[in-house]
Chain A
């Protein structure tokens, strides 16, 4: 079992604000780090897969960085919009692709 942690647990921001949250994971035997966005009543949707130390990925206003040596990844959202409201999950695979998830960060963007 892998201990993957996320913080904060929840976040309320005003529309237009930028925000970020953290995922920490065991740095030993690292394979990859996956970020998902999960909107209410929908399936979790893949955002990024990160593998290399120092990796930075970007998708529109959302970006993520990875530090495998210290075992953390940051997810950034620039200029938050109400449609960004969702739970953001990170997962670290073990034994190939058995995912171990954090508890998620619930983001609410207030118009």
Chain B
């Protein structure tokens, strides 16, 4: 059974056209993360939620926003995608209860034309 689900798996958008990526989880985990991963690179943390508390990484561009309406869902909004934003976007979750393991979703591949 899928635990961390990301939709869509592939997303094509136009330069400057807002796009939203979604993540849902069936694990009831408190912490949710969004990562950006470019080709042949390690995942780069953009931000995370600890319950409803939003934590932005210092070097995450303002172009990237996030929403977490409830425990199960989290959204990544890219307000004005540039060519450099083409990447795999990964969602991950973790339980608050002392477990360090992050469970990753399959990712959404974003292409910017």
A binds B: no
Which residue numbers of A lie inside 8 Å of B, CB to CB?
none
